[in-house]
A and B are shown apart, each in its own frame.
Chain A
Amino acid sequence: MLSFKGTLTAELITALLGLVERKLDLLEPQAQVRKRVFNVVMECLQNLFHHTRADEAEADEEGVVVIARTDMGFSVLTGNYMDPASVEQLRAHLDRVNALDPEGLRDLYKNKLADGRYSPVGGGGLGIIDIARRSGRKLEYGFVPHDARRTFFSLNVNVPS
């Protein structure tokens, strides 16, 4: 449906979301599914935006996003380089989210929202939980060590239709 590799800006995210919205209108008859895919794409793009800063990104450190139609619905795949020191914390968060059923995810979301410690600038805390709620499937992820200061993180989110 759409793929992109490069450095994201706020304007570019607006343009990509507009494109995704128009394609979804053509491809997916169910409004709830269109909205879930749009929400997942938006959160994933904004995660990339917050975690790959333009001033630090080198040509080979850009983020990637691939949005595809699959047999079961839609797949939103994103990838970016991250600090190896943060890998274990992110992995623990993803594993915790993947271990929960929908009610458990809802409770975790409410607790994180209400506890006052969440930073609206991002950090993937609420974002990952929201993505998991919209998906209804287990999040697929991988970490590939690149060198001493970079690990490649990839996240695949399936949204059933």
Chain B
Amino acid sequence: MASYILEGTPKTPSVLFDDSTGRLELKGRSIPENSIEFYKPLIDWIDRYARDPRPSSILHVQLEYFNTSSSKCILDLFKKLELVRGTGNEVTVLWHYEADDEDMLEAGEDYQAIINIPFKMIQIEEVDGK
């Protein structure tokens, strides 16, 4: 399968899903009016990746903003990664939040409470590519 790469826009994050390394990245802003349209190909990609994943996968989430429409889609993405973990592979989510953004830290903790994947909370100065 091929890597999935998308440039960021003012309303959608940059995406870099690399099946050869197991490194998955979501960076920027996720505030589209129609989140399903944006996330469906990402979720489908992870679905295919789950059939033959790397032994260790790391999802880097580095979002400055996301809307409630995206929040459900992001949950669906995590759920697909739960399946990867369920077949004995290592999966980690690195949840980045800006030092002055307590709300984004809480949002990460909310997902952590719902999803059965180890999360690491990482404080950063500023989201890349702003």
B36 touches A121 (CB 8 A): yes
B65 touches A39 (CB 8 A): yes
A36 touches B103 (CB 8 A): yes
Within B62-81, which residues are at the interface with A (CB < 8 Å)? 65, 67-73, 75
A13 on the B face (CB < 8 A): yes
B128 on the A face (CB < 8 A): no
B69 touches A32 (CB 8 A): no
B102 touches A32 (CB 8 A): yes
A122 touches B110 (CB 8 A): no
A110 touches B113 (CB 8 A): yes
Q: Which residue of A lies closest to B111 (CB)?
A: A113
A3 on the B face (CB < 8 A): no
Q: Which residue of A lies closest to B35 (CB)?
A: A120
Across the interface, A134 reaches (CB within 8 A) one of B35, B70, B98, B103, namely: B103
Once the chains are docked, how many angstroms separate the CA of A18 from the CA of B3? 31
Across the interface, B68 reaches (CB within 8 A) one of A10, A35, A49, A127, namely: A127
B44 on the A face (CB < 8 A): no
A130 on the B face (CB < 8 A): yes
Q: Which residue of A lies closest to B104 (CB)?
A: A35
B110 touches A110 (CB 8 A): yes
A46-B67 contact given A14-B10, A121-B34, A121-B36, CB 8 Å threshold = yes
A32 touches B35 (CB 8 A): no
A31-B67 contact given A14-B11, A118-B72, A120-B73, CB 8 Å threshold = no
B31 on the A face (CB < 8 A): yes
For chain B, the bracket of interface size reads 20 to 34
Across the interface, A35 reaches (CB within 8 A) one of B11, B103, B113, namely: B103
A50 on the B face (CB < 8 A): yes
B110 touches A106 (CB 8 A): yes
Interface residues of A (CB under 8 A from B): 10, 13-14, 17-18, 30-32, 35-36, 38-39, 42-43, 46, 49-50, 106, 109-110, 113-114, 118-122, 126-127, 130, 133-134
B72 touches A120 (CB 8 A): yes
**A124 CB to nearest B CB, Å:** 9
In the complex, which of the residues B65, B67, B98 has the most CB atoms of chain A within 10 Å of its own CB atom? B67
B33 touches A31 (CB 8 A): no
Q: Which residues of A contact B103 (CB under 8 A)?
A: 32, 35-36, 39, 133-134
Once the chains are docked, how many angstroms separate the CA of A39 from the CA of B65? 7
Once the chains are docked, how many angstroms separate the CA of A28 from the CA of B70? 27
Q: Which residues of A contact B100 (CB under 8 A)?
A: 30-32
Q: Which residues of A contact B110 (CB under 8 A)?
A: 106, 109-110, 113
B114 touches A114 (CB 8 A): yes
